[in-house]
Amino acid sequence: MYMRTLKAALVSSAMMVSAAQAQQVVEWWDFLGGGDGVRMKSLIEQFNAEHAGEIQINATTLEWGVPFYTKVQTSAAVGEGPDIMTYHASRIPLAVSQNTLTQITADDLAAMGLSPDSFAAATWDAVNVDGATYAIPFDTHPIVLYYNKDMLAASGLIGEDGLPTGLNGIENFNAAMQTLRDNGAQYGIAQVTADGGFAFRTIYSLLCQQNGEIGGDGNWFPGDSPQKLENAVQLIADWVAAGHNPSYTDYPATVALFTTGAAPFMINGVWEVPTMSDLYDQGNLFEWGAIELPVFFDRPCTYADSHAFAIPNNAGSPQTPEEHAATLEVIRWMADNSLFWATAGHIPANVAVTETPEYQMMQPQATYAVLTANSVFDPKSVHAGVASALFEAAGNAFTAAMNGEIDAASAVAEMKAEMDGL
């Protein structure tokens, strides 16, 4: 009798232990600190509430940029990385060279109910290296042209569809900026001119608009790309020289110049959309909108990157099948529920979400989402991507050139020498 009670007690306590183990904890690292970080937190809370007793996300937010990538790469190398992390598609090539990411297999994709067709072609391509998939895109985040609708309307630059008109082509755009300035705007356009690494996003878009490209190791600027890159840099330098674009302006000042009405246009990332929406809702902002970059050269093209979910390849401590399944469930759920993520400005990568009527109603997101068909991602190299040697070289070469300290040709030559020297 005594033995049976003991046995029963042992069995029941063993069952309790296994019940406790049934709740998988998914360690999550991200670099989302701003307005999108707040939105991601509420997504995570919602996920945890819906998966109570099954899966819990334990999230940690780390510093964006070089600190984040240094930490995830080194911790994966010693087996101390998380189960899942946010990752810029543009930084995947470096991680692949270090073997710090786990491949996403066809079975994994099937388990999540996703396929390559679930994503825009350029976005899907960005998470693949040499035919293997290393992350699941969560969003596409391009740069866009923000505009002050009140000021544009007063200058007759808003068309019948309620969107800006007559901005395509360098001459038209310059004329529009001149009109706006004649009508009282202090500047024509605000964009970051104190940070050539940031401005690289615009310059790279302008390069792509001329069908120019940045290659990769060994051949960074193929064909006539140096000349086209020079044209791109020259365009911004001309704007600065003409007083259209304020010189040596840093990021916070750029946003301030737009939101205070000093500059009716701003080129910036879609991640500033929540700033504008919030200010507008508080009654502190004019009528505004955001559109795909105008076609300055030959064709529409805009720089984009993608926040994706990646699973680190933790050396010596691979995920158990249960952990792996729980991680996939997190990615699947996030992909399905990324409509809310669109309020952070980012374009959900999952096409099924952007096709919903709810997304189509969302403004200005639905207006600029069309640009995913024309987006260009960073070249696939260990030296490219956010916080990379390429951005660093752009900072050195373009900051001086945009502000007229050196000419565009020397800036391109300097950049080429720097990249070829790596």
Partner 1 sequence: MANRRSEIIAACVFVAPFIVIYGWMFVWPTIQMFRLSVTDAPLIGAGAYIGLSNYTKLLADPVFRTAINNTIYFVILTVVPGTAVALLIALMVSRLNGWLQSMILALFFLPFILPVSVVFVIWNWLTNVQFGILQGVIEPIMGRPINVWRTLPWFMPGVAIITIWWTNGFSILLFLAGLRNIPKDLYEAASLDGATRWQMFTRITWPLIWPITVLCLTIQLILQLKIFDQVYLFGQGGRTRSTMVMVQYIYEKAFINNQGGLAAAAAVVLFVFVAVMSVLQFQLLRMRGYR
CB of 193 to partner 1, least distance (A): 9
# residues near partner 1 by CB under 8 A: 37
Is 183 a binder of partner 1 (CB under 8 A)? no
**DSSP per position, 169-233:** SHHHHHHHHHHHHHTT-S-SEE---S-HHHHHHHHHHHHHHTT----BTTBSS-TTHHHHHHHHH
Q: Are the C-beta atoms of residues 28 and 45 closer than 8 Å to each other?
A: no
CB of 264 to partner 1, least distance (A): 16
CB of 281 to partner 1, least distance (A): 24
Long-range contacts of 379-384 (CB under 8 A, 24+ apart): 379/213, 379/214, 379/215, 379/216, 380/93, 380/129, 380/216, 381/93, 381/216, 381/217, 382/93, 382/94, 382/97, 382/217, 383/94, 383/217, 383/419, 383/422, 384/90, 384/93, 384/214, 384/216
Measure the N-to-C terminal CA separation of the chain; round to a whole number of Å.
Answer: 77
Q: Are the C-beta atoms of residues 67 and 291 closer than 8 Å to each other?
A: no
From 142-150, 187-195, 322-330, 369-377, span contacting partner 1 (CB under 8 A): 187-195
Determine which residue in the list 146, 198, 265, 377 makes contact with partner 1, applying CB under 8 A. 198
Q: Which is nearer to partner 1, 195 or 323 (CB)?
A: 195
Q: Which is nearer to partner 1, 47 or 258 (CB)?
A: 258
Contacts of residue 330, defined as CB under 8 A and 6 or more positions apart, other chains included, come to: 26, 28, 47, 55, 57, 84, 309
Structure token digits, residue 130: 């040499």
Q: Which is nearer to partner 1, 100 or 374 (CB)?
A: 100
Q: Which is nearer to partner 1, 50 or 250 (CB)?
A: 250
Contacts of residue 126, defined as CB under 8 A and 6 or more positions apart, other chains included, come to: 89, 90, 92, 137, 305, 306, 308, 377, 378
Q: Provide the 8-state DSSP code for 158.
A: B
CB of 379 to partner 1, least distance (A): 16
Specify the pairing of strand 136-137 against strand 24-30: unpaired
Query: Residue type at 170?
Result: I
Is 287 a binder of partner 1 (CB under 8 A)? no
Tally Cβ neighbours within 10 Å of residue 208. 23
Is 403 a binder of partner 1 (CB under 8 A)? yes
Name residues contacting partner 1, limited to 213-252 (CB under 8 A). 246-250, 252
Determine which residue in the list 112, 194, 233, 384 makes contact with partner 1, applying CB under 8 A. 194
CB of 214 to partner 1, least distance (A): 17
Binding mask 362-401 for partner 1 (x = CB under 8 A): --------------------xx---xxx--x--xx--xx-
CB of 65 to partner 1, least distance (A): 10
Q: Which is nearer to partner 1, 300 or 385 (CB)?
A: 385
Name residues contacting partner 1, limited to 47-76 (CB under 8 A). 66, 70, 73-74
Q: Which is nearer to partner 1, 104 or 194 (CB)?
A: 194
Name residues contacting partner 1, limited to 76-115 (CB under 8 A). 77, 94, 97-98, 100
Interaction site with partner 1 (CB under 8 A):
66, 70, 73-74, 77, 94, 97-98, 100, 192, 194-198, 246-250, 252-253, 256-257, 382-383, 387-389, 392, 395-396, 399-400, 403, 418, 422
